[in-house]
Amino acid sequence: MKLSDYEKSILAGDFGEEAQKILDVMVKIYEINGADDFVEVKEVMLASTQNMTISGTLGMDFLTRLADSGIRFRTKTVTDPVSMDIEAWQRLGISSEFARLQEKAIRALINLGVVPTWTCIPYLSGSIHRYGEHLAYVETSVVCFANSYFGARTNREMDITAMAAAITGRTPRYGLHLVDNREGQLLVNVKVDLNTTSDYDVLGHCVGKIAGTRIPVFKNMRGDSSTQALMQLGAALATTGAVPLFHIQGLTPDILFDPEKYGRRRIEEEVTITKGEMETAYDELNTTRSSEIDFVAIGCPHCTIEKIRKVAASLDGKRIKEGVEVWICTSRTMRDLGLAGGEIQTIEKAGAKVVVDTCMVNAPVNQMGFHTMATDSAKSKFYVSGSGIGVRFGDTGKCLQAALTGRWEE
Amino acid sequence: MAERFQGRSICSGIGEGEALVTQQGISFWGGVDPTTGTVTEVSHELCGTKLTDKILILPALKGSAGGMWIIIRLAKNKTGPKAIIVPKADTILVGSVIMAGIPTVDALSVNPLEVFKNGDWLKVDGANGTVELSNR
């Protein structure tokens, strides 16, 4: 393993214990994976601060000490959502004690040199990549998106290995950085029409469970397969499974580049998804039969501007039912576009909150007293139901209807 | 006489204690109480068991990568295991044990899940990647 003088100096402890441990992990990951080289990383994406904040002050103290050591991220590093709207946390019912801890983590990350995107859709804030570029991403939905949609190359990193890439600018060449490990393994025959983006959530929920850690190849995909739809598909696949990459015949770049290699050579199983499988998955996504809705959350992954416009059109001139909390979660970039176009004002006027920097998965919604959440996202169903809130899943229109009436229509 | 097994070094340090073997992966995030070191995952075969001062032998970590922070807290609180042995370490395990400083060995010449039994006295040398079994 050829290490630079800078890396050797960090490993010797010249920048403190935190950076030293981060590089210790990098060296060990290199060894256990039998890597024979490093790849240059174009961009790093860190995980949400949620894990660090909920596990006490340990994570925050770690980040603060790392930033105080003088270490700086050399590679462009973008960030996942934090656990609050950084400017408007008070109106989400977040305590000031909680906010202080978040602010500490945010300050440390900015000192380390991150681009403060605070979103799970950084690709709509400039994180676009050429085919074959190497990345080191943590956020699982973006790992799936970047590998599949751009044909960029990233493993499913953890905070520490991503920070190693941010500090050194490189990562061991193993896993999905090697083209032979990107070949599809599970052929998925889609014998069902995909009419809304939520159908892609249901498909992802269903296939993620079958795939596990394997790479699925979709054939006969009949739907619009818009960017929004593929975001939803990847997020759901990476939730019920540990899927890092998917291929769609005739659509995604790896399989267009070499259909034989990525789509056929290593297929070990074929499954067919019919209406029956989709209905079962849909039922699983509805964890309660209760039709009283007190929380509606849209935007997991964060809403694109197209989705914001759709929400605004549905809520224009209407009024959210009293007692129902409605979050339309998005990035600052998308929010600013929506402010310029007037959609954000329309949504807020109806009584919904446009929430940035965070979402229903990362904010402490389990402490806000909600009973039943309506959502159009399979990923958010998984994380929110884990905290004891009942979930109603349906397409965006159905969720917005529930926001207006406070009731879920079967 | 002690029996010696050669494996691979994952995290250096020496840990000695009683073996605690589980055939089920552990999710530290939401599955282990960092204050008491007790497994809390209801459906886990170790539910209610303390990991404190044990040599923990398990197939793998499961669940969220955020489990790393729980493992670090266990180590800081001295409620965690003295050492860890796994058949094959993955990225999240490597990151977690190095950050927590828990001596860890993998890739032994034998399957640790079959060879070691609860109550065996084990000495793990993380730097040399060895495990010594005595007092059976």
ipTM of the complex: 0.88
Chain A residues in contact with B95 by the CB 8 A cut-off are 25, 29, 158-161
Convert the pLDDT of each residue in B10-21 to its tens digit.
999 999 999 999
User: CB distance from A51 to chain B under 8 Å?
Assistant: yes
Q: Which residues in B lie closer than 8 A to residue A52 (C-beta atoms)?
A: 69
Q: What's the whole-number mean pLDDT along residues B68-74?
A: 92
Cβ distance B99 to A155 less than 8 Å, yes or no, reads: no
Indicate the pTM of the whole model.
0.93
- 3-state secondary structure at position A25: helix
Instruction: Give burial (CB, 10 Å; 0-12/13-18/19+) of A58.
Output: middle
Reduce the secondary structure of A171-226 to three states and give it as a string.
EECCHHHCHHHHCCCEEEEECCECCCHHHHHHHHHHHHHHHCCCCEEEECCECCCC
Distance between CA atoms of B96 and B25, rounded to whole angstroms? Answer: 15
**Least confident residue range of A27-41, A50-64, B39-53, B79-93:** A50-64
Query: pLDDT, tens digit, for every residue of A308-325?
Result: 999 999 999 999 999 999
Q: Is the dihedral of CA A245, A247, A253, A258 positive or negative?
A: positive
- pLDDT tens figures, B82-111: 999 999 998 889 999 999 999 999 999 999
Structural domains in chain A?
A: 5-179 (3.30.499), 183-283 (3.40.50), 286-405 (3.30.499.10)
pLDDT beyond 80 at A178: yes
Look at residue B33 in the predicted model and tell me its pLDDT: 93
CATH number of B3-134: 3.50.30.10
Query: Residues A342-382: pLDDT tens digits?
Result: 999 999 999 999 999 999 999 999 999 999 999 999 999 98
pLDDT value, residue A55: 62
Q: What is the mean pLDDT of residues A85-114?
A: 94
Q: Which residue would you say has higher pLDDT here, A147 or A52?
A: A147
**Domain residue spans of chain B:** 3-134
Contacts of residue A24 in chain B, CB cutoff 8 Å? 98
Read off the pLDDT band of A57 (50, 70, 90): confident
Lowest-confidence region among A140-144, B52-56, B63-67:
B63-67
Q: Are strands A295-303 and A372-375 parallel, antiparallel or unpaired?
A: parallel
Q: What is the mean pLDDT of chain A?
A: 95
Instruction: Give yes or no: B64 in active site.
Output: yes
User: Using one digit for the tens of pLDDT, what is the confidence trace for A15-32?
Assistant: 999 999 999 999 999 999
Q: What is the DSSP letter of B30?
A: T
pLDDT over 90 (residue A274):
yes
Q: Give the Cα separation of A166 and A77 in Å (integer).
A: 6
**Is the pLDDT at B22 greater than 80, yes or no?**
yes
Query: Using the beta-carbon criterion (under 8 Å), do B64 and A28 form an inter-chain contact?
Result: no
pLDDT of residue A390: 96
Q: What is the pLDDT at residue B46? A: 96
